Structure 1
Amino acid sequence: MAKAVRFDEYGGRDVLRVVDVPVPEPGEGEVLVRVRAAAINPGEAKIREGALHHLWPAAFPSGQGSDLAGVVTELGSAVAGFAVGDEVIGFTDARASHAEYVLVDAANLTPRPPAVSWEVAGSLAIAGATAYAAVRAVSPGPGETVAVSGAAGGVGSIAVQLARRTGAEVLGIAGPGNHEWLRSHGVKPVAYGDGLAERLRGAGIDAFVDTHGDGYVALAVELGVAPERIDTVADFPAVERYGVRAEGSSVKSAAVLAELAGLVAASELEVPIAAMYPLTEVRAAFEELERGHTRGKIVLFP
């Protein structure tokens, strides 16, 4: 038996339980991974609350979690390129990584570079791929200016760095407590809140990445950014209303994960870690996430 997070109905953090479940057996093309670190994501809280039932309904009892890093303990049939004992980074689409053991399609795994810590490795897949896709969607380049909302969050903190690598000037919308971190990464900080439109109006913004929602797409349109150069990972109603992009999950793959892990290993990308919790404190981890002011990722250690 092994520990895993489960919930039997939609609701708040109190519906989350850590229970004993059988250790799963890998099937064809699958790898069993002993999880060493698994990040939590805002979308997981929304799914658990039932807010995304129309898009991604839960079947109860439901597990949760997509990101993972760990050690291969067993191989299913027709798996090549991995061996028992390999240290890997990956993701699962089965809502299952908040657990001691998880089955993963071998195609969704990549080796963990030794220079990438477990907590960063277990935080990289979803936020990293989302940031990668969003920046690629708006195509910033040298001589251009791109703004990123939620610039110190799990996705935003990676997006600002990837946007900076294109040669564009990057404006990071965030609270004052994160301004020095943004400056240290070559990003110009801009305080959110009253007067934001006026602070941005003269910047000549060419592209906008919205990782926060709450009206930022409307603001970008008001500032004259072309809809095809606005990408949101948080405001899905705005996609239909304004015709903007929503390509946050369009590049999730082992190849992109390997590229991002390589940047981290080369000290060319930082994935900030806000907090780490044991699996048994999953409710406390989501309580911190839902406060909405963490820099970077929150990680569970099974």
Structure 2
Amino acid sequence: MRAVQYSKYGGGVDGLKHVEVPVPSPKKDEVLIKVEAASINPIDWKIQNGVARPFLPRKFPHIPGTDIAGEIVQVGSGVGSFKVGDKVVAVLSDGGALAEFALAKENSTVLRPPGVSALEAAALPIAGLAAHQSLTQHAGLKLDGTGPKVNVLVTAASGGVGTYAVQLAKLANAHVTATCGARNMELVRRLGADEVLDYKTPEGKALTSPSDRKYDIIIHCTTNIPWSTFEPNLTPKGKVVDTTPGFGTLMSVAMKKITCSKKQLIPVFTAPKKENLDFLVKLVKAGKLKPVIDSKHPLSKVEEAWGKSMDGHATGKILVEP
């Protein structure tokens, strides 16, 4: 099969190589999927840069990518939930998305219902799960709208995680303020944001709500915004849920533990929970959640997609088709 891989840390786009490798065989509790679409997440090239070194990749050469949609062509022993011919969406624990076939664990694969395209499904997993888990598990929102009315800020709202966070927060009946670039402000409004700030303006840089609201929850989907900017915009028990935690976030969390403030900074490390992914797929099927697709690229030109993700200005998700 055709695949894209890299053989060492670093190298960016130039480190990617097009290869022919054997089609893998599913082991116990695994399924083999013919890939119809895959998506690229920033974590993919960050792993290439060594952010998870020495734990990921587990070995070289490595086929990157975690998000796929496709059709099951073979099932391993012990698999009871799926059969050959099932259309599915999956999160790959060990990479492998940028190829014609990929192995997925049964417990991180869900059925893709008719009406949900392969592109829409492949755009969901990591970004959608990050938004879902940030809002529900860490911020405590109820996505059926039965919880109390809260004020939510979403930073980088036109990115992969941000576009989902805005839509899911509206399902929770929140008042949503969002930041993004000027060119995407109308898109973010269409996704449901009540107020939109251009992040390059003084108000956007300060995260100041146009209606002078304090935020109960900030879903932080970018980098390089310090706690000193968040803190004055929060309610007394407000939370900042950081979907892109780095060393600075972890240091801020450590420092806050020695203060008396009830405001919280919470780092999020997305988990590939099957029930959460199934919930998101069903929202797309019901028309309540819309994946925003920035662009799609053939596997033969994956360098374009990889470079676009590294550039950091994609609107929604970047997709790759074999």
Per the normalisation by structure 1, the TM-score is 0.93
Spell out the pairing of 1:47-86 with structure 2 (5 A cutoff): 47-53=47-53, 56-57=56-57, 59-86=59-86
Partner of 1:190: 197
Identity %: 32
* Structure 1 residues 17 and 229: alpha-carbon distance in aligned structure 2, compared to 1, 3 A threshold: same
Matching residue's letter, 1:107: N
Partner of 2:251: 241
Matching residue's letter, 1:6: Q
Say which is worse superposed, 185-194 or 113-122, in terms of deviation: 185-194
Matching residue's letter, 1:209: I
- The answer to whether structure 1 residue 157 and structure 2 residue 201 are counterparts is no
Partner of 2:150: 144
* Structure 1 residues 280 and 3: alpha-carbon distance in aligned structure 2, compared to 1, 3 A threshold: same
1:55, distance to aligned residue in structure 2 (A):
6.1
1:124, distance to aligned residue in structure 2 (A):
0.8
The answer to whether the 8 Å contact 1:212/1:234 transfers is yes
The answer to whether the 8 Å contact 1:139/1:229 transfers is no
Spell out the pairing of 1:125-136 with structure 2 (5 A cutoff): 125-136=125-136
* Structure 1 residues 298 and 112: alpha-carbon distance in aligned structure 2, compared to 1, 3 A threshold: same
**What are the superposed Cα offsets for residues 146-173 of structure 1, whole Å, 9 maximum, x if unpaired?**
1011101001100111111111101111
* Structure 1 residues 237 and 128: alpha-carbon distance in aligned structure 2, compared to 1, 3 A threshold: same
1:227, distance to aligned residue in structure 2 (A):
7.7
Alpha-carbon distance in 1 for matches of 2:54, 2:236? 29
Partner of 1:89: 89
1:185, distance to aligned residue in structure 2 (A):
2.4
SS at match of 1:121: helix
The answer to whether the 8 Å contact 1:9/1:60 transfers is yes
1:278, distance to aligned residue in structure 2 (A):
0.8
SS at match of 1:200: coil
Partner of 2:230: 220
The answer to whether the 8 Å contact 1:39/1:300 transfers is yes
**What are the superposed Cα offsets for residues 51-99 of structure 1, whole Å, 9 maximum, x if unpaired?**
4426645521111110010010011111102111111111111111111
Partner of 1:203: 213
Uncovered stretches (5+) of structure 2, i.e. residues with no partner: 142-146, 254-264
SS at match of 1:36: strand
Alpha-carbon distance in 2 for matches of 1:3, 1:9? 19
1:286, distance to aligned residue in structure 2 (A):
1.2
Uncovered stretches (5+) of structure 1, i.e. residues with no partner: none
- The answer to whether structure 1 residue 173 and structure 2 residue 194 are counterparts is no
SS at match of 2:209: helix
Alpha-carbon distance in 1 for matches of 2:90, 2:207? 42
Alpha-carbon distance in 1 for matches of 2:119, 2:12? 25
Say which is worse superposed, 128-137 or 241-250, in terms of deviation: 241-250
* Structure 1 residues 70 and 199: alpha-carbon distance in aligned structure 2, compared to 1, 3 A threshold: same
SS at match of 1:206: strand
The answer to whether the 8 Å contact 2:149/2:173 transfers is yes
RMSD: 1.9
The count of aligned residue pairs is 300
The answer to whether the 8 Å contact 1:28/1:76 transfers is yes
The answer to whether the 8 Å contact 2:67/2:125 transfers is yes
